[in-house]
């Protein structure tokens, strides 16, 4: 029997868990990060994935205020009071319980990608989760994860040589009971976790003694080796946990599932662990009924509690990371298997839908809203879904390309084909062949500046100004332009002294962000 096939088909998928802060820790080795650690510009980058399990209702999370009247017609029993929405822009805002994320927005540390889905949406939790974790087309059945494929290509001998002198720490850690399937390789799971060690306690002994005869003995020997290696990882985790000093006041009254998980991540990072990817999760988003507590106050209820937990936990984590001094090295990202329907149901809930927003947080982002507000028709029935604007694999590709600096050839191997790279990160490789030679002059400017650029094909162009923290200031231009060189004068007479971001959108999608200094 091939030992990789044996591992894949056996019930043992992980090794002995430990407990920090009352929560199970499962260790997953991620060879993806082995390679990344060798890259000078990416070796210290950390990604925290937060899976919102169940399918989050994006329309009650990120409310399109300019569509409010039609949205009210579609979901009058659960819609959020317009006057209570936390505005990110005049036409868009967060659920009122999401004060933590609103603070991240105000500080220029939040990016939101609207209307994320994939073509031919599948509404099964299991199947859609498979699609999101594998990054496959909805009509393709792929057993490997989007990270796992990269892991296997880089380290075909894993896990036999891990840990080693170069990589002494676990390379990814899933916190809690759910191990991310993104680390599933083509042959077996690129990681280790075990719900209970008692069934395998006898395996954790000398690999050379007391072995059954034949092929089974070889596989048991192999399993013992894996378990012994995992114990070395656990020693590193326990050491980091014991040394990790965090600010407990940031976590006061935060006792929910996600806060506990992110607190552990912060503690391990404070203790000096070199792990590059952490996977957390928050369940309960399958809100078919009782999504809100009271139709008289729709800001209360089960969904609101989940959003408050998400918002408060991410804000506390970001503040903790800043105190540790890792703010330039850590980025967080949320994802969920789908959104919910536009129309609410008679049970004060929402059924499985398509597109929903994704959130990214951190200090190394280009903050802002990526994508346009969804269009809500005046008459909506249960069959109508939000239209997709971005494929979720656009976001994945952007993270791999611009955060971890993955090469184009490696990126194509992982994602199967090419996807759009969004300019989410401060250093972006995003290139749109439809626009070129963008510049602002004069810069610094007084009462006016000119933005010039060349369009390769006719496009809808929108130009807006934001402050340095990503707060909307003004829309200064919106028109359909021909394929030629353009110079557009921007009136700055009402803009006070400061540093601003000038965003350039083509057909509703952000393409370029230019920095402008205004001196009065």
Q: Are 472 and 435 in contact (CB under 8 A)?
A: no
Indicate the pTM of the whole model. Answer: 0.77
Instruction: Please write the tens of the pLDDT for every residue from 267-299.
Output: 999 999 988 888 899 999 999 999 999 888 999
- Assigned token pair, 334: 């949320």
Alpha carbons 163 and 142: distance in angstroms, whole number: 29
- pLDDT value at residue 213: 61
- pLDDT value at residue 148: 80
Alpha helices in 184-327 (DSSP H): 214-243, 257-270, 302-324
* Strands (E) located in 15-103: 18-20, 23-28, 46-53, 62-64, 86-89, 92-94
- pLDDT value at residue 205: 43
Q: What is the mean pLDDT of the chain?
A: 84
- pLDDT value at residue 34: 39
Alpha carbons 378 and 384: distance in angstroms, whole number: 12
Alpha carbons 460 and 506: distance in angstroms, whole number: 5
What is residue 487's three-state secondary structure?
strand
- pLDDT value at residue 64: 97
- pLDDT value at residue 214: 60
- pLDDT value at residue 139: 95
- pLDDT value at residue 79: 96
DSSP 60: G
- How distant, in Å, are the alpha carbons of 65, 90, 284, 313 from that of 108? 21, 17, 29, 17
Q: Which residues contact 352 (CB under 8 A, 6 or more apart)?
A: 55, 123, 125, 338, 340, 341
Q: Are 457 and 483 in contact (CB under 8 A)?
A: yes
Mean pLDDT by 10 residues, the chain (520 residues): 40 44 54 38 80 97 97 96 95 97 96 97 97 96 87 74 78 74 77 38 45 61 63 80 92 94 93 88 96 92 97 98 96 98 96 98 93 92 93 95 87 92 82 76 94 89 86 90 92 93 84 87
Query: Starting from the edge strand earliest in sequence, which strands make up the sheet with 92-94, in order?
Result: 62-64, 92-94, 86-89
- What are residue 190's phi and psi, to 5 degrees? -80, 60
Alpha carbons 518 and 500: distance in angstroms, whole number: 8
Q: Are 290 and 347 in contact (CB under 8 A)?
A: yes
Alpha carbons 90 and 132: distance in angstroms, whole number: 32
What's the CATH number for 435-518?
2.60.40.2550
Alpha carbons 63 and 257: distance in angstroms, whole number: 25
Strand 46-53, strand 277-283: pairing: parallel
What is residue 286's three-state secondary structure?
coil
Q: What is the CA radius of gyration of the chain?
A: 24
- pLDDT value at residue 1: 36
Residue 455 host element (H or E) = strand 448-455
- pLDDT value at residue 511: 77
- Residues forming a β-bridge with 278: 48, 173
- Assigned token pair, 226: 């894996």
CA nearest neighbour of 42 among 482, 516, 406? 406
Q: Which residues contact 516 (CB under 8 A, 6 or more apart)?
A: 440, 443, 444, 445, 449, 465, 499, 500, 501, 502
- Assigned token pair, 457: 């094909």
Strand 172-175, strand 277-283: pairing: parallel
Q: Which residues contact 53 (CB under 8 A, 6 or more apart)?
A: 178, 281, 282, 283, 284, 285, 286, 336, 337
Q: Which residue spans of the chain are classified as CATH 2.60.40.2550? A: 435-518
- Assigned token pair, 498: 């400061």
């Amino acid at each position: 029997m091939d030992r990789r096939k044996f591992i894949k088909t056996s019930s043992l998928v992980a090794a002995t868990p430990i407990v920090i802060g009352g929560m199970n820790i499962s260790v997953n080795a991620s060879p993806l990060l082995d390679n990344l650690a060798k890259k000078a510009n990416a070796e210290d980058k950390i990604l925290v994935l937060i899976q919102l399990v169940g399918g989050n209702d994006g329309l009650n999370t990120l409310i399109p205020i300019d569509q409010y009247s039609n949205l009210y017609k579609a979901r009058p029993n659960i819609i959020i009071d317009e006057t209570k929405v936390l505005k990110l822009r005049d036409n868009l805002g967060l659920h009122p319980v999401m004060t933590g994320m609103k603070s991240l927005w105000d500080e220029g540390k939040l990016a939101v990608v609207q209307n994320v889905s994939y073509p031919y949406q599948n509404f099964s939790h299991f199947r859609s989760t498979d699609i999101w974790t594998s990054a496959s087309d909805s009509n393709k059945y792929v057993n490997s994860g989007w990270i796992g494929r990269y892991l296997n290509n880089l380290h075909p001998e894993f896990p036999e040589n891990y840990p080693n002198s170069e990589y002494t720490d676990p390379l990814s850690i899933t916190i809690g009971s759910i191990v991310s399937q993104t680390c599933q390789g083509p042959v077996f799971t690129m990681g280790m976790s075990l719900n209970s060690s008692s069934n395998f306690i006898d395996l954790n002994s000398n690999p050379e003694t007391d072995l059954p005869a034949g092929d089974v003995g070889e596989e048991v020997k192999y399993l013992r080796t894996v378990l012994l290696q995992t114990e070395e990882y656990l020693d590193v985790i326990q050491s980091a946990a014991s040394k990790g000093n965090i600010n407990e006041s940031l976590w006061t009254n935060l006792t929910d599932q996600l806060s506990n998980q992110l607190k552990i991540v912060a503690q391990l990072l404070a203790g000096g662990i070199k792990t590059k990817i952490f996977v957390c999760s928050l369940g309960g988003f399958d809100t078919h009924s009782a999504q809100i507590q009271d139709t008289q106050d729709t800001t209360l209820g089960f969904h609101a509690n989940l959003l408050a937990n998400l918002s408060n936990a991410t804000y506390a984590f970001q503040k903790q990371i800043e105190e540790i001094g890792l703010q330039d090295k850590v980025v967080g990202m949320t994802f969920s298997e789908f959104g919910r329907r536009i129309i609410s149901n008679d049970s004060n809930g929402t059924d499985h839908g398509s597109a929903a927003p994704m959130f990214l947080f951190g200090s190394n982002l280009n903050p802002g809203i990526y994508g346009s507000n969804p269009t809500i028709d005046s008459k909506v029935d249960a069959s109508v879904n939000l239209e997709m604007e971005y494929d979720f694999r656009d976001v994945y590709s952007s993270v791999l390309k611009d955060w971890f600096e993955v090469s184009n050839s490696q990126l194509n191997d992982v994602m199967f084909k090419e996807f759009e790279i969004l300019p989410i990160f401060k250093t972006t490789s995003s290139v749109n062949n439809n626009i070129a030679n963008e510049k602002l002059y004069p810069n610094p400017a007084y009462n006016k500046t000119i933005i010039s650029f060349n369009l390769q094909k006719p496009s809808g162009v929108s130009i807006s100004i934001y402050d340095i923290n990503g707060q909307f200031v003004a829309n200064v231009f919106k028109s359909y332009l021909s394929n030629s060189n353009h110079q557009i004068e921007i009136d700055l007479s009402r803009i006070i002294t400061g540093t601003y971001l000038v965003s350039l959108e083509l057909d509703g999608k952000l393409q370029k962000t230019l920095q402008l200094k205004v001196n009065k």
